[in-house]
Amino acid sequence: MGNEVTDVKKELPALTKEDFKSDQMVKWCPGCGDHAILSSFQKVLPELGVRKENVVVVSGIGCSSRFPYYVKTYGFHGIHGRAAALSSGVKISNPNLHVWMVTGDGDSLAIGGNHFIHVLRRNIDINILLFNNRIYGLTKGQYSPTTPTGRKTKSSPHGTIEHPFNVGELAIGAQGTFFARAVDTNPKMIIKVMHEAAKHKGTSLIEILQNCVIFYNNVHSAITSKETKGENQLHLIHGEPMIFGKNKDKGIMLKGTQLQAVHIGKYGVTEKDILVHDETTYDSGIHLMLAKMAPPTFPVALGVIRSVKNYTYEDKLESIIETEKEISSIKCVDDLLNSGKTWEI
Amino acid sequence: MTTKTQKVVELEDVVVRFAGDSGDGMQLTGSLFSDAAAIAGNDFATFPDYPSEIRAPQGTIAGVSGFQIHFGHKEIYTPGDTADVLFAMNPAPLKKNLMWVKPGGTIIVDTDTFTDKSLTKAEYTSNPLEDGSLKEYNVIKAPISTLTKKSVEDLGLDNKMILKSRNMFALGIMFFLFNRKFKTADEFFEQKFKSDPLLIESNKKILRAGYNFAETIEALNSITYIVEPAELKKGKYRNITGNVATAWGLLAAAERSGRQLFLGSYPITPASEILQELSKHKSLGAKVLQAEDEIAGIVSAIGASFAGSFAVTSTSGPGLSLKCEAIGLAVMTELPIVIVDVQRAGPSTGMPTKSEQSDLLQALFGRNGEAQVIVIAASSSSNCFYYAYEAAKLAMEHMTPVILLTDGCLANGSEVFRIPKVSELPSIKPPIVKANDTDYRPYKRDPEKLSRSWAIPGTLGLRHRIGGLEKENIFGNVSHDPENHQLMCEYRAEKVRRVANYIKPQDVIGPESGDLLVVSWGSTYGVMIEAVKEMQEQGKKVSLAHFHNINPLPKNTAEIFSKYKKIIVPELNLGQFVLYLRMYFQQFKFEQYNKIQGLPFMVKELVDKFNHLLDEK
């Protein structure tokens, strides 16, 4: 009984990016941020030490969710908002599978918001790539739950009057054990955090700030443009001080209960005053503040913001099943049918 | 135990109803009484009737909880229309249940509870025990509260505790009346109160006090009743509710198919017991996800099905509405999944604890696009086991979603169940693809069934992508080609139609031709067969065709219909199956008979209706 899984102990064949390219034509718009993410993902997969037949890519609906068709693995393109539930079923059913879920700000934060918070809360070992372009692309330009207040879109001609979600804040609030952020213009960073996400036991969420050339071009340009990225990106590295700026002369300090961006060397601030990043601390206070940082007051925090240990849903379930199989007197359905009160006629 | 000079009257069958406040332990009393009937070899069916509220205000009509058992020497098909004996623990249960007592039936009451205050709460303007309103019944007035206290006064229990055991005094009276043995109840006390010997002793004492008291009641005239054992097929038996039978049928199917069972489900009345029951059986490898909502329940199951599990979701009407889009996904991806819908009275929240057959059209048609699914319906609490098993077999062998319809009556009702051997159940052979099968194409079909095959992640050489977008024939790539779409729609529909080649032909109970054919489905089976048999005994040419396979219908359906002068379709809805039959069989005239009160049909009303129809020229 159970599911077929290739013996992982057998030697892994050497794989390359080509092993993960499907024969389907990639149909995203030229210049779309998705291309870089796909290419990075295809580079990462052969490096994970996972058998290609054990990889499953699951998605919901939206531009991002066409992703599985372009990756040569087992793939499931689901329905709108439900990728987290679909992935949960796959992973719980067979914990040996290596599950990646691809979704967007509309798919996971609006229609699929419920599944999104619950998969994080359950800490099922799924790696989620959430492409955040702050707009609905596939339905052609309506505002999403991450569109900044006031932004004029097709469905907000007077500017949105809604308060946007911050993905990291939501995820950490939902007890997410791993949250990282990357930008589509920096494939190196995407690859790095994908590796970290793959290593993490539990739900890993990577928010990728991604540009929609058609409906919200330059949405993240304050963070990604050549001129401003030095001042507006903070690359977090576990155990290292939070230093940023073109000249590496700025840092993040804790003042009272709040973070503050400061110049090193000015007003008596030295490198020793700068916060050292600890992605592993269970207390979510600093992680939440880091996730929420945004220009013009702060740089945007990139890299792994939070990576804490907790048991995964499927490991716990498997261990209960193993114990029950050992201790229960009901070993098969015949035992069950004949258990309890019965009588002969 | 019937050593005194009593008169023992033999009965063919008896209906007893226990009724009290929802905290009075009526369900327990009823189930202990059922156990005693089982040991005595009777056939029986039970039905609990309880309010939606967990504990509605004490003493009010809204808070009344009931348990009905129908047991007999003859074969028992239903929990019974009306009761021969009503046990009312307080005024409110009397008020609420009087209409369900047979004329001349026996009513037993606890006189201690008939105080002014509780009479007012029960909305009585005068005391029914004194105002003559019960003169047509055989009323037995017993000071049960007082006697219960007295029977254990030496044990030093507190008053509240003692009064909670009043139900055992009532059970004792019923044990005397029907010549039951203490054994099963005693065993229950010993098990339940293992850690508290005092409670074992007090319950045993109270039970016997009730029994001994009954011997002294004048109104009983020293008459007790005996119901001889039923002529059941030899074998090992147990009592089972529809929800447990459903859960066990699914477990049996998982074992027989070699697939791990996965249930994704969200709690909903009256389906929650399936979720609870399956979550107990981890030793059988069953995995249960209590999902965050109905949608996640089914979608996680679809994910599990993709990953190779035998996947199930369980729900009731409002939940089925929420799952509609996802059922379409399972239709498009052609993955096996069983959707159990334990129907309740709708629309919307409706009457959650009341039963109805009004989800049929939703099950058949409630999806966007051309999205046929297999629909089957169980017809008794115990055959929920077999229809859950059949749903699983059809889903996995034909690679399609199957909706299994049960309802609140079947789910909560219990019946005698002859225990089968799993090895004797039909085999289940899902079309699983072997590693490195170079002929594998995601949407290549079995030439007979038209089912695609099941290529499970983790298997070497079968990597493929599926999803909700239209698929290219054979290869499964996304396709918007017009002719391909038509072809695929036709394939999916034809695949479900061809299931008719794999199911049993429809059977008819009664003569193969005649004046009237009663056509029914679902939980009304018991009452239909009783009504039809009664008419057959009167010499009427009436037969019954009770359907379990709804979509597709058995191939001989039209042939059966053609043999009768009149056809009537009674349903607990406004006419859903009849609408479906009219769609397929326009050559026949279908009469309909509908009841939608959250209550089952009664034999009498059916017989009257059928006779009326026969009399019409």
User: CA-to-CA distance for B144 and B123, rounded, in angstroms?
Assistant: 22
Alpha-helix runs per DSSP H in chain A: 34-44, 67-70, 83-93, 105-106, 113-122, 167-173, 187-199, 221-224, 229-232, 285-292, 313-327, 333-337
B185: distance to nearest CA of chain A, Å? 12
Please tell me the total number of residues recorded for chain B in this structure. Answer: 617
Instruction: List every span in chain A annotated with CATH 3.40.50.970.
Output: 17-240+279-323
**pLDDT for B49:** 78
Contact (CB, 8 A) for B395 and B337? yes
Contacts of B243 (CB under 8 A, 6+ apart): B270, B271, B273, B274, B277, B342, B384, B406, B411, B412
Contacts of B272 (CB under 8 A, 6+ apart): none
Q: Over B262-286, what HEC string results?
A: EEEECCCCCCHHHHHHHHHCHHHCC
**pLDDT for B617:** 77
| pLDDT at residue B596 tops 90 | yes
pLDDT digits 0-9 by tens, B212-240 = 999 888 666 667 888 998 888 999 999 99
User: CA-to-CA distance for B542 and B537, rounded, in angstroms?
Assistant: 10
Q: B 394-453 residues with CB below 8 A of A?
A: 419-422, 435
**pLDDT for A4:** 45
**pLDDT for A1:** 38
User: CA-to-CA distance for A179 and A206, rounded, in angstroms?
Assistant: 6
* Residue among B596, B17, B299, B457 at smallest CA distance from A95: B457
**pLDDT for A134:** 96
- Amino acid (1-letter code) at residue A112: G
DSSP state, A220? T
Q: Which residue has the tokens 């996800």?
A: B289
The whole-number average pLDDT for the span B453-460 is: 98
CB-nearest partner of A88 from B300, B329, B464: B300
A113: distance to nearest CA of chain B, Å? 11
Chain B residues in contact with A101 by the CB 8 A cut-off are: none
DSSP state, B23? T
Contact (CB, 8 A) for B465 and A69? yes
User: CA-to-CA distance for B33 and B180, rounded, in angstroms?
Assistant: 9
- Tokens linked to B132: 């003559």
Supply φ then ψ for residue B120, to 5 degrees: -65, -45
**pLDDT for A8:** 47
- Amino acid (1-letter code) at residue A153: T
CB atoms within 10 A of CB B60: 19
> Does residue A134 sit at the B interface (CB-CB below 8 Å)?
no
pLDDT digits 0-9 by tens, B48-105 = 877 666 666 778 888 898 999 999 999 999 999 899 999 999 999 999 999 999 999 9
Kindly state the helix (H) or strand (E) to which residue B95 belongs, with its residue range. helix B91-97
Per the CB < 8 Å rule, is B282 touching A320? Answer: yes
Contact (CB, 8 A) for B312 and B330? no
* Residue among B223, B184, B227, B239 at smallest CA distance from B207: B184
Residue from B240, B292, B416 to probe the interface with A (highest A Cβ count within 10 Å): B292
DSSP state, A234? E
* Residue among B82, B77, B70 at smallest CA distance from B382: B77
- Separate counts of helices (H) and strands (E) for chain A: 12, 14
The overall average pLDDT reported for chain B is 94
pLDDT digits 0-9 by tens, B285-331 = 999 999 999 999 999 999 999 999 999 999 999 999 999 999 999 99
Contact (CB, 8 A) for A5 and A51? no
Q: Is B110 helix (H, G, I), strand (E, B) or coil?
A: strand
Question: According to CATH, what is the number of the domain A17-240+279-323?
Answer: 3.40.50.970
User: CA-to-CA distance for B367 and B223, rounded, in angstroms?
Assistant: 60
User: CA-to-CA distance for A144 and A303, rounded, in angstroms?
Assistant: 24
Contact (CB, 8 A) for A182 and A208? yes
Q: A 22-41 residues with CB below 8 A of B?
A: 22, 24
Q: Is B537 helix (H, G, I), strand (E, B) or coil?
A: helix
User: CA-to-CA distance for B438 and B615, rounded, in angstroms?
Assistant: 67
Residue from A71, A337, A338, A339 to probe the interface with B (highest B Cβ count within 10 Å): A337
- Tokens linked to B96: 């609420």
Contact (CB, 8 A) for B308 and A3? yes
Per the CB < 8 Å rule, is B459 touching A4? Answer: yes
Angle between helix B294-306 and helix B317-333 axes, rounded to 10 deg = 30
Beta strand spans in B277-336 (E): 287-290, 310-315
3-state helix, strand, coil in chain A (%, to 5): 35, 20, 45
**pLDDT for B390:** 98
B143 upstream amide cis, omega within 30 of 0: no
Q: Quick one: CA torsion of A137, A142, A143, A145, rounded to 10 degrees?
A: -70
> Does residue A72 sit at the B interface (CB-CB below 8 Å)?
yes
Contacts of B299 (CB under 8 A, 6+ apart): A78, A79, A82, A85, A86, A89, A115, B264, B326, B329
> In chain B, what are the domains?
7-226 (3.40.920.10), 235-502 (3.40.50.970), 514-615 (3.40.50.920)
| pLDDT at residue B594 tops 70 | yes
Q: Which residue has the tokens 């026949």?
A: B588
- Tokens linked to A40: 């990075």
Per the CB < 8 Å rule, is B307 touching A93? Answer: yes
Q: Is B260 helix (H, G, I), strand (E, B) or coil?
A: coil
pTM equals 0.94
Contacts of B58 (CB under 8 A, 6+ apart): B21, B23
Per-residue pLDDT of chain A in tens (345 residues, 90 and over written 9): 344 444 445 567 789 999 999 999 999 999 999 999 999 999 999 999 999 999 999 999 999 999 999 999 999 999 999 999 999 999 999 999 999 999 999 999 999 999 999 999 999 999 999 999 999 999 999 999 999 999 999 999 999 999 999 999 999 999 999 999 999 999 999 999 999 999 999 999 999 999 999 999 999 999 999 999 999 999 999 999 999 999 999 999 999 999 999 999 999 999 999 999 999 999 999 999 999 999 999 999 999 999 999 999 999 999 999 999 999 999 999 999 999 989 998
User: CA-to-CA distance for B495 and B56, rounded, in angstroms?
Assistant: 49
User: CA-to-CA distance for A286 and A280, rounded, in angstroms?
Assistant: 11
Contact (CB, 8 A) for B460 and A53? yes
**With a cut of 0.85, is the ipTM above it?**
yes
pLDDT digits 0-9 by tens, B462-517 = 999 999 999 999 999 999 999 999 999 999 999 999 999 999 999 999 999 999 99
Per the CB < 8 Å rule, is A88 touching B238? Answer: no
> Does residue A85 sit at the B interface (CB-CB below 8 Å)?
yes
Confidence of residue B268 (pLDDT cuts 50, 70, 90): very high
Lowest mean pLDDT among A2-16, B134-148, B361-375, B480-494: A2-16
Q: By CA distance, what is A27's nearest residue in B?
A: B478
Per the CB < 8 Å rule, is B422 touching A337? Answer: yes
**pLDDT for B216:** 84
b/e code A117-138 from CB counts within 10 Å (16+ = b): bbbbebbbbbbbbbbbbbbbbb
User: CA-to-CA distance for A218 and A216, rounded, in angstroms?
Assistant: 6
Give DSSP secondary structure letters for A19-63.
Answer: GGB-SSPP-SPTT-THHHHHHHHHHHGGGTT--GGGEEEEE-SSS
**pLDDT for B505:** 98
> Does residue A149 sit at the B interface (CB-CB below 8 Å)?
no
Q: Which residue has the tokens 């009702």?
A: B413
Per the CB < 8 Å rule, is B238 touching A341? Answer: yes
* Residue among B301, B337, B338, B343 at smallest CA distance from B321: B343
* Residue among A168, A137, A184 at smallest CA distance from A41: A184
> Does residue A54 sit at the B interface (CB-CB below 8 Å)?
yes
Sign of the torsion formed by the C-alpha atoms of B402, B405, B411 and B413: negative
Q: Quick one: CA torsion of B544, B550, B554, B556, rounded to 10 degrees?
A: 50
